[in-house]
Amino acid sequence: MNLIHVEGAYKEYRLGQQHVRALAGVSLAIASGEFVALMGPSGSGKSTLLNILGGLDRPTDGSVVVNGEDITKLSPTALCRYRQRQLGFVFQKFNLINTQTALENVEFPLVFAAVRPKDRRDRAATALHAVGLGDRLHHRPGELSGGQQQRVAIARALVGDPPLILADEPTGNLDSTSGDSIMQLLAELNRAGRTIVVVTHEPRMQRFASRTVHLLDGQVVT
């Protein structure tokens, strides 16, 4: 069963008097439970595609159906609900709040979901234990290594129990050992039933994925 079905997706940006085409008719299906690596050189459109899947951007043309719903037709409010309920996003630069503890960073998205404070803390602690940081609940980002910070970011993506995890260069700011550890963690989450889509430029990372999709000049080439 396909969780994601992209059909004829185009994306163009206007830079001054120029039109830049980031996607040029991408069609792609991703089954529920897959671990897909999106690869390609800089400017190939892989991060643009991921942002569109995450509802952070809209295609200029084409459809993007996730879990049976065309997210290109959703209102801004409905897109917010989609991001809350359907997916977790992991960023290259972690995007943690430096003044908050790991526990507070992970529970933060649940504030917007109107989850009660005690339930937020319990769910955040459970997510941190799941990524191997049960002993770092009250540490702030500055007290954690890069790999540990990315684990906090993954716990934050998991705390809403989404079926889909999107990760944009999650190992880009890490050394090779920490990067392998993060990819192994994502593979474990995939084996537990979550669909994972990762953008990466590192060829060695594709060994963790069940399928690799290569993009070039805004098109799927393999």
Q: How does DSSP assign 67-133, residue by residue?
A: TTEEGGG--HHHHHHHHHHHEEEE-TT----TTS-HHHHHHHHHHHTT--HHHHHHHHHHHHHHTT-
Residue-wise pLDDT for 129-160, tens only, equals 999 999 999 999 999 999 999 999 999 999 99
pTM for the full model? 0.92
List, in order of start, the domains of the chain with CATH numbers.
34-57+74-220 (3.40.50.300)
> pLDDT tens across 8-24, in order?
999 998 888 888 899 99
Task: Say if residues 168 and 92 touch (Cβ distance below 8 Å).
Answer: yes
